[in-house]
Every structure is written in C-alpha cells, then in structure tokens.
Structure 1
Amino acid sequence: MKAYWIAHVDIADAERYSQYTQRAPKAFAEFGAKFLARGGRSEAMEGRSTPPRSVVIEFESYEQAVACYHSAAYQEAKSYREEWATAEIIIVEGIAPI
C-alpha cells in the first residue's frame, strides 16, 4: 500500500529555508517520492489554523516513506531546515484499493 508524508511548515526565513529545498529532492528522488501538494492555497475548515505551507508526498510503501525520512540524504537536508522553519511531519499508510 502507498504511504504519504503530510507536512505542515512554518517558515521563519524563506531565503535560508531554500537551503533545505535545494537538498531535500535528492532524498525524495532516491525513494521514488511523488509530490501531490506543495504550498499553494489552503484553508483550515476545522481544528487549528492552517500553517503557511502544507505538503503531501506519496511513496510506494510505508517502509519507503519511513526510510526516506531516516536516510542520510534527508537528515542532512533537514539540518538546514531546523533553524529556519518549524515542521510537523507525519507518515500515514494509505488504504488498499477497492
């Protein structure tokens, strides 16, 4: 079954955050990630207010999604994000096709 990263990001410094966005694609490519939503318009219908940036990334399996997060390439990219942005990232397994 497919799996998805769902990320909500608050960016404090867009210029410095770009150091993360320049490095992270290497990890995503290595694990066959497909972006389904990245930035763009969003609106909170219930719950907490919408963060400035929401991202949904598809992986072929839960294991690939977790491995991508823990990979050396992603952890290196993440180190450039942590000082300039706050992120909430969850990995969720999709449902079996009917």
Structure 2
Amino acid sequence: MTDPERLAAYDKLAGPAVKAAGGRLLSRGSRVVAHDAGIGERTILVEFDSFEQAVAAHASAAYQEALAALADGVERDFRIIEGLD
C-alpha cells in the first residue's frame, strides 16, 4: 500500500530533518535492480559521520514529525547500518 499524499508530506519533512542532523543523501533511487530475494523498491541511502549520529537523527523530534506525517502511508524496511570506516 502506498499513499502518495502521506509520502509527499513525509518527503517534505524528512529531507530537511536528515540534513539538519548531519546526514548526506547518497541515493534516492527509484531505479533499482534487485537480485535473488531482493525487492526492487525505492531505496534511500543516507550517510552520517557515525553510527551514533544516524541513530540520533532517527530519534530526533524533526524526523519523528516526518514519520508521524507518513503514518501507515507506505510499508517500510528501515535500517541503520554501521559502516566499515
């Protein structure tokens, strides 16, 4: 299920919230080639200087406001992954 209005409201709030928390948008790809059991859906990739900064960004009031605007507008698979460097 995708609610385009809720997704647009989320996008409007989430981008500035992530940027304010120090995130750098690396990909906002709607072009995905999925292999094996992968799901070819919209994939967003954001980089932070640290794992802890990413966790704090997700918990921030600004990002939580974006999530509230999205509510159940889409099915999400959200992950914070520690980098190698």
Structure number with higher relative contact order (C-alpha < 8 Å, ≥ 6 residues apart): 1
Deviation at 1:48, TM superposition (A): 3.4
Verify: 1:24 aligned to 2:6, yes or no: no
Structure-1 separation of matches of 2:18 and 2:24: 8
Structure-2 separation of matches of 1:46 and 1:76: 35
Aligned residue in 1 for 2:35: 45
One-letter identity of the residue aligned with 2:2: A
Question: How many equivalent residue pairs?
Answer: 85
Q: Does structure 1 retain, via aligned residues, the 8 Å contact 2:6–2:71?
A: no
Aligned residue in 2 for 1:58: 47
Deviation at 1:32, TM superposition (A): 1.2
Verify: 1:85 aligned to 2:74, yes or no: yes
Three-state SS of the structure 2 residue aligned to 1:93 is coil
Deviation at 1:18, TM superposition (A): 0.4
User: Which portions of structure 1, spanning 4 or more consecutive aligned residues, are displaced by more than 4 angstroms?
Assistant: none
* Unmatched segments (≥5 aa) in structure 2: none
More strand by share: 1
Deviation at 1:38, TM superposition (A): 0.4
Three-state SS of the structure 1 residue aligned to 2:76 is strand
Aligned residue in 2 for 1:6: none
**What is the identity percentage for the equivalent residue pairs of Structure 1 and Structure 2?**
36
Structure-2 separation of matches of 1:30 and 1:56: 16
With structure 2 as the length reference, what TM-score do the two structures score? Answer: 0.88
